[in-house]
Amino acid sequence: MKKVTGLGGVFFKCDNPQSMNEWYAKNLGLATSEYGATFEWREAGDPSKKGATAWCTFPKDTKYFNPSDKPFMINYRVENIVLLVEELKKDNVTIIDEIVEYDYGKFVHILDPEGNAIELWEPKDEANDDSVTG
């Protein structure tokens, strides 16, 4: 079973997310919004399939990365998140929450051995979707 299929996003804490987004927009040209930036792309092996990678700033006091106390979180794109979570449980990986589903995909959070929160994301089929949001 293929597990991680790509990088879904990079999330990090900062003192002032709005100011940080503005700095990255001005100095590095990121097209930021209040949620950060989205980098859209197509799969090399099948250009009909679209994808996106998110870059997001969060306030320092966000609880979104809990129980990790690290200032960052990586989001990995995965296939078949339900089966993957079953395998992770068998390997005693800490599963932080239950799988949740939104119109843009399914998500679950886990911890690596050093306490880093990891967000797993099974995107919905994006091949024919022009509203890729990451």
Question: What confidence score (pLDDT) does residue 49 get?
Answer: 87
Question: What confidence score (pLDDT) does residue 43 get?
Answer: 87
**Proportion of the chain above pLDDT 90, given as a percent:** 82
Condensed to tens digits (0 to 9), the pLDDT of residues 76-104 reads: 999 999 999 999 999 999 999 999 999 99
DSSP single-letter state for residue 131: -
How would you classify the pairing of strands 72-78 and 4-14? antiparallel
Domains and CATH numbers, the chain: 4-123 (3.10.180.10)
Q: The pTM is what?
A: 0.86
Give the C-alpha separation, 49 to 74, whole Å. 22
SS (H, E, C) 12-62: EEECCHHHHHHHHHHHHCCCCECCEEEEEEECCCCCCCEEEEEEEEEECCC
